[in-house]
């Protein structure tokens, strides 16, 4: 007799997000005004809203997006499968703010931006693999052309730490950036000092010392929020071996982790 073994067949089915109606792109007059004469008035009916629109944490008050960037579906701001990627950033030197724009706004405003004396448009993409070059200094490509002076936009580096998180950047440019990110987020990292921290690496305000005590404004751990954000950005693709993956898993990084 011949014994037949039964094998279970498995067929993988891709689960797509539910169908929704796309939002109608809209260019607000306030954005044109910002580009033309540098007038920037967030709040109220303004098209400029905080970049971090969910999470319940204190983020920089100098980071904004337009409503057209944030609202991709008709039901309102999109924080799930319809989260828009970050590729166009407007810097406003007089107000020391960064504003993330939608592709629609960039297409319509490009002639105005190229002639503006108040704003710069920066091309940006998050670094999601080790071999990519970072664009977080916002000097990769700008309109109009950015002067060579490194002191022209001194507020950019500290703000880009948080923009990188929102955009889903997985790799940090160097060890010093890693240390600063941990201080800003209130997470135990490469610096000695805190004697007590939670299981997710968050250092409570009363336990902070030195640089973290001055730079971190977080009152509660941002780790859960960041894990949710990165899972949305990665759309199911794992990121555990990356710099951000290790930080959120409370695995300290060393200088050798940044060697190219």
Distance CA 52, CA 231 (A): 16
Neighbours of 13 (CB within 10 A): 5
Q: Which two tokens stand for residue 115?
A: 């002639």
Backbone phi, then psi, for 204, in 5-degree steps?
-65, 155
Give yes or no for a contact between 8 and 93, defined as CB atoms under 8 angstroms apart: no
**Neighbour tally for 101: CB within 10 Å:** 23
- The structure tokens 């490469």 sit at 190
What whole-number distance in Å separates Cα of residue 61 and Cα of residue 83?
21
Give the whole-angstrom CA distance, residue 94 versus residue 39.
Answer: 9
Residue 88 pLDDT: 97
Q: Are the CB atoms for 246 and 177 separated by under 8 Å?
A: no
Give the residue with greater pLDDT, 171 vs 220: 171
Least confident range from 105-109, 122-126, 232-236, 244-248: namely 232-236
- pTM, rounded to two decimals: 0.85
73 forms bridges with which residues in the sheet? Answer: 22, 76
Tokens encoding 205? 């305000």
Cα distances (Å, whole numbers) of residue 195 to 150, 191, 202, 212:
38, 11, 12, 13
Q: What is the pLDDT of residues 196-231, one digit of tens each?
A: 888 888 888 888 888 888 888 788 888 998 999 999
Mean pLDDT of the chain: 87
Confidence grade of residue 54 (pLDDT, cut at 50, 70, 90): low
How big is the CA angle at 125 (ends 115 and 81), to the nearest 5 degrees?
Answer: 115
Q: Once rounded to an integer, what is the mean pLDDT over residues 114-137?
A: 94
Q: What backbone torsions phi and psi does residue 89 show, to the nearest 5 degrees?
A: -125, 130
- Predicted confidence at residue 150, as pLDDT, reads 66
The predicted pLDDT at position 79 comes to: 60
Query: Rounded to an integer, what is the distance from CA 225 to the centroid of its chain?
Result: 13
Residue-wise burial string across 37-62, b where 16 or more C-beta atoms lie within 10 A, e elsewhere: eeebeeeeeebbbbbbeeeebebbeb
Kindly state the average pLDDT of the residues 154-165.
89
Residue 3 clears pLDDT 90, i.e. is over it: no
Asked if residue 72 has pLDDT above 90, the reply is: no
Which DSSP string corresponds to 69-95?
HH--BTTBS--STTPPP--EEEEETTT
pLDDT of residue 7: 72
pLDDT digits (tens, 9 = 90+) for 149-159: 767 788 888 89
3-state secondary structure of 109: helix
């Amino acid at each position: 007799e011949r014994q037949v073994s039964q094998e279970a067949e498995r067929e993988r089915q891709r689960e797509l997000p539910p169908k929704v109606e796309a939002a109608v792109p809209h260019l607000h007059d306030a954005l044109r005004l910002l580009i033309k004469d540098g007038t920037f008035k967030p709040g109220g009916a303004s098209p400029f809203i905080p970049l971090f629109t969910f999470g319940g944490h204190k983020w920089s008050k100098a980071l904004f997006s337009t409503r057209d960037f944030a609202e991709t579906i008709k039901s309102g701001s999109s924080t799930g499968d319809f989260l828009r990627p970050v590729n166009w950033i407007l810097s406003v030197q007089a107000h020391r703010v960064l504003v993330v724009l939608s592709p629609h706004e960039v297409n319509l405003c490009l002639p105005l931006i190229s002639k503006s004396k108040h704003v710069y448009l920066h091309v940006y993409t998050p670094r999601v693999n080790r071999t990519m070059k970072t664009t977080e200094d916002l000097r990769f490509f700008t309109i109009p052309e950015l002067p060579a002076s490194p002191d022209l936009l001194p507020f950019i580096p500290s703000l880009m730490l948080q923009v990188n998180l929102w955009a889903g950047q997985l790799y940090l440019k160097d060890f010093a950036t890693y240390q600063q990110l941990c201080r800003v987020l209130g997470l135990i990292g490469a610096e000695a000092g805190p004697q007590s921290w939670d299981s997710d690496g968050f250092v409570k305000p009363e336990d902070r010392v030195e640089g973290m005590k001055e730079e971190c404004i977080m009152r509660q751990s941002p780790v859960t929020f960041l894990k949710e954000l990165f899972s949305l950005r990665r759309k199911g693709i794992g990121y555990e071996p990356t710099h951000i993956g290790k930080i959120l898993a409370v695995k300290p990084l060393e200088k050798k982790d940044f060697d190219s």
